[in-house]
């Protein structure tokens, strides 16, 4: 599921979502809103609406970091070829 989220975003939207995920204090959110089971996130493209539980948010954060590293590696290789 997460792979599809990342693959479906243009680069600018990917970084907006990554920055949002990185700024969320996951433990604090679920501590402050104890009745909540999921955190809902809507991207600037309103059709992209996601809801994640605690574990999914941590997994998504790792995925976004991994995807960011792959993007930077690709850009570095591309720059060295050109």
How far is 50 from 62, CA to CA, in rounded Å?
16
Helical axes 54-81 vs 11-23, angle rounded to 10°: 140
Is the pLDDT at 44 greater than 60, yes or no?
yes
- pTM, two decimal places: 0.78
Residue 41's pLDDT band (boundaries 50, 70, 90)? Answer: confident
| Of 37 and 16, more confident | 37
| Of 52 and 42, more confident | 52
């Amino acid at each position: 599921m997460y792979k599809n989220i990342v693959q479906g975003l243009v680069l600018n939207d990917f970084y907006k979502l990554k920055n949002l995920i990185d700024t969320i204090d996951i433990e604090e959110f679920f501590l402050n809103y104890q009745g909540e089971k999921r955190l809902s996130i809507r991207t600037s493209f309103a059709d992209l609406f996601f809801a994640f539980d605690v574990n999914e948010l941590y997994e998504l954060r790792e995925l976004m970091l991994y995807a960011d590293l792959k993007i930077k590696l690709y850009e570095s290789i591309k720059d060295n070829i050109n």
